[in-house]
Chain A
Amino acid sequence: MERYQRQMTIRGFGREGQRRLERSRVLVVGLGGLGCSASLYLAAAGVGSLVLVDPQRVEPSNLNRQVLHWDRDVGKPKTESAGEKLLALNPQLVVETRKEEITARNLVKLVEKVDIVVDGTDNYAARYLLNEVCLRSHKPFVHGAVEGFLGQVTTILPSRGPCLRCIFPRPPPEKKNTPVLGATAGLVGCLEAMETIKLLTGLGEPLIGRLLILDGESMHFEEVKVERRAGCPVCSVSGRGGK
Chain B
Amino acid sequence: MPVRVRLFGEFREAAGVSEISVDAKNVGELLEKLAEECGRLKNLLFEGGRLRKYVSIFVNHRSILEQEEVETQLRDGDTVAIFSPVAGG
Contacts and interface: CB of A to CB of B under 8 A. Distances in A.
Nearest to B55: A170
- From B54, B63, B88, residue with most partner A Cβ within 10 Å: B88
Interface in A129-178: 144-147, 150-152, 166-175, 178
A123 B87 contact: yes
Contact of A226 (B12, B63, B89): B63
Contacts of B18: 220
24 contacts: A30-B89, A32-B89, A119-B89, A120-B89, A121-B89, A123-B87, A144-B89, A145-B88, A146-B86, A147-B86, A147-B87, A150-B86, A151-B86, A168-B54, A168-B56, A169-B65, A171-B85, A172-B54, A172-B85, A172-B87, A180-B88, A224-B8, A227-B66, A229-B63
Contacts of A231: 65-66
Interface in B39-84: 53-54, 56, 58, 61-63, 65-66, 81, 83-84
Contacts of A46: none
Contacts of B86: 145-147, 150-152, 172, 178
B81 A224 contact: yes
Contacts of B83: 211, 213, 224
Given A169-B56, A170-B53, A222-B8, A122 B88 contact: yes
B54 A170 contact: yes
A146 B88 contact: yes
Contacts of B88: 33, 122, 145-147, 178-180, 185
Contacts of A220: 18
Nearest to B88: A178
Given A170-B54, A222-B8, A227 B62 contact: yes
B32 to A, nearest CB: 21
Interface of A: 30, 32-35, 119-124, 144-147, 150-152, 166-175, 178-180, 185, 211, 213, 215, 220, 222, 224-227, 229-231
Contacts of A33: 88-89
B6 interface: yes
Given A150-B9, A169-B53, A213-B9, A145 B63 contact: no
B85 A215 contact: no
Contact of A225 (B61, B66, B87): B61
Contact of B66 (A30, A224, A230): A230
A171 B54 contact: yes
Contact of A172 (B12, B58, B84, B89): B84
A33 B89 CA distance: 6
B71 to A, nearest CB: 15
A183 to B, nearest CB: 13
Nearest to B86: A147
A145 B63 CA distance: 20
B53 to A, nearest CB: 4
A153 to B, nearest CB: 11
Contacts of A147: 86-88
A35 B54 contact: no
Nearest to B18: A220
